[in-house]
Amino acid sequence: MDGRKIIEEYAEWIKNNSFVRDVRNGKYCAITTPFMDRHNDHIDIYITKSENGNYVLTDDGDTISDLVMSGSFPNTPKRKQILDTTLNGFGVATDGESIFVETANTGDLPKKKHALIQAILAVNDMYMMSQENTYSFFKEDVSAFFNSRQISFVQDIGIVGKTGYTHNIDFVIPKTLDKPERLIKTINKATKSQILQVVFAFSDISLVRPVKGKQIVMYNDEYGAIPSDAEKALNQYDVKYMPWSKRNDYIDALITA
């Protein structure tokens, strides 16, 4: 697997498909990214300066307002806890309206932008929290499944890749004498943007963590299959993928082997 090549291709894809403009009389710099939300609209992020001179990167309230309109606003303690835990995993925060991250260092802006985009994509999945499945969140289901199979794991680990970006890995199954380390990312809805983020993360990590471990995606196929072009990318870079509905068929081959 040529990790350097995919990092170069990924960076070029972002560069060629990102657009910058000034808004609100130049108070904000708006960046339209190539990443899509659940409506297949491009995700916008905004950069401005706070009163203390720090740079603030924000989604300007777009993500949570969409949850409000979909009826999935985290207005219960359980949903609020999940929202906060999700954002904390990426090092970003919310004021109840906007999702944002702040830095005083211009050199940190690319990393903060990367973290904010990852957080927005993750929170987009929260719209699945309709009344009928409030208590069935995918990541929790995966955790419960591992526990039921007596699989030891560490959850929500940040690993820094070659680029300096920190990637949140949902589950790490430690290396044993006869089994390699396994890094697992979960995806509730397998969009192309989500898959490209995962492939980039695994490739970036592999350049500084060159262990012969397994890189695995577990996705909730209740909401559809992986797009064919994204599936091709997974195969090309040797990232294994497991549909949730077939977890019992795949578990021995992808997790315990």
50 within 8 A of 56, measured Cβ to Cβ: yes
Domain that holds residue 225: 138-256
- Predicted confidence (pLDDT) per residue in 62-95, tens digit: 998 888 777 666 566 767 777 888 898 899 999 8
Residues 189 and 85 in one domain: no
Residues 117 and 170 in one domain: no
Q: How far is CA 82 from the centre of its chain?
A: 14
pLDDT reported for residue 78:
67
pLDDT reported for residue 39:
82
Q: What is the CATH number of the domain that holds 53?
A: 3.30.1460
Q: Which residues of the chain have pLDDT under 50?
A: 131-136
Last residue of a domain, one of 107, 131, 155: 131
pLDDT reported for residue 213:
63
pLDDT reported for residue 46:
95
Total structural domains within the chain: 2
pLDDT reported for residue 134:
39
Residues 40 and 122 in one domain: yes
Q: In angstroms, what CA-CA distances link 213 with 155, 165, 205? A: 17, 20, 11
